[in-house]
Structure 1
């Protein structure tokens, strides 16, 4: 006997190999001030086979096309070392009431001319990806943050970072 009050298929899952339009717009490098608070988890595996998580803001992510994501990282970050070693990462985030998990193949991206930020860039392609939601509950947020003192300085840095990564991506 089945309970008719339960949804027949509680999990809605979508598999994709190109960014959905709304996600691509999120990562388009524009209107960063209106996208502050968004956080993605970058998952990597280090040399000791430990899973590591790095939290990235919208000023560190740029999608130059429908199948690519460029990531800006500090060179001393564990994620930068792990990606350089394995060429792989996963990005997870919540957006528009869905949970996204994206498996990425990554390669170093040369810095753009005139970039003195000290950041390293990764050019990532979507290997496989999926979004999930459930009908009985609504995801309202994932990990979010609020910029405190120096908000203008952070936004200025993000604008410069995104411009550098855009130029680096255009050269790739």
Structure 2
């Protein structure tokens, strides 16, 4: 059979252990206002074996380098407890017309001096990541949201959170 008659595979799968450039830009902690509306799903498994989902925006995610991701969550979140017990999580999102699923190994980060946010900070290293796309359909978005009411206050809080994540990530590398 000639190559011209061989059908193209419907799924393009890219496996990675370092953030692709588009994702690194998404999680670089800059220009948060232009990235608002983006949502990632953080998936964890609790002690009962139930999968739990936390929805996160760009103000709660920061990639300090090509292999890690810092996460800011409220300490009472079920995800914090689940990650403390298992040390694992998965992050799913849509970026650059592809669906991403990233398996993370997660540990707590120390709080930063002067941070009175009350947030829990975690750092995850990429265990494995996958990006999936198909030629016949273009992903234009995943779960998205709009900031309402006090949107400026949320963006200001995100800016502070990202600064604290940057400081905590830098301290963890020392």
Q: Is the 8 A contact 1:7 1:135 kept in 2?
A: no
TM-score (norm 1): 0.96
CA distance in 1, matches of 2:119, 2:57: 14
What are structure 2's unaligned runs of at least 5 residues? none
Hey, what's the Cα distance between the residues in 1 that align with 2:85 and 2:95?
Answer: 29
Structure-1 separation of matches of 2:119 and 2:7: 47
- How many residue pairs align between the two structures? 170
Runs of 4+ in 1 over 2 A off after TM superposition: 4-7
Alignment correspondent of 2:52? 52
CA distance in 1, matches of 2:166, 2:5: 49
Residues of 2 paired with 1:5 and 1:54: CA distance? 45
The residue correspondences of 1:140-155 to structure 2 (distance < 5 A) are: 140-155=140-155
**Distance (Å, rounded) in 1 between the aligned partners of 2:53 and 2:6:** 35
Residues 1:110 and 1:152: Cα distance change in structure 2 (over 3 Å): same
Provide, for residues 62-87 of structure 1, a one-character-per-residue CA deviation record: whole Å limited to 9, x for no partner.
Answer: 00000000000000101011001110
Secondary structure of residue in 1 paired with 2:54: strand
| 1-structure distance, mates of 2:130, 2:6 | 24
Shift of 1:20: 0.6
Alpha-carbon spacing, 1:45–1:151, altered in 2? closer, same or farther (3 Å): same
Shift of 1:6: 8.9
What residue is the counterpart of 2:126 in the other structure?
Answer: 126
CA deviations on 1:13-57 (whole Å, 9 max, x unpaired) are: 000000011110110000000000000000000011100000000
The change in CA–CA distance for 1:6 and 1:99 in structure 2 (over 3 A counts) is farther
CA drift of 1:96 comes to: 1.2
Are positions 1:37 and 2:23 aligned together?
A: no
**Whole-Å Cα distance in 1 between the matches of residues 40 and 20 of structure 2?**
16
Q: TM-score, normalised by structure 2?
A: 0.95
The aligned counterpart of 2:17 is 17
Match of 2:98 in 1: 98
Contact 1:99/1:133, CA 8 A, preserved across alignment: yes
- 1:156 corresponds to: 156
Q: Distance in 1 between matches of 2:138 and 2:38?
A: 17
Residues 98 and 139, structure 1, Cα contact 8 Å, conserved in 2: yes
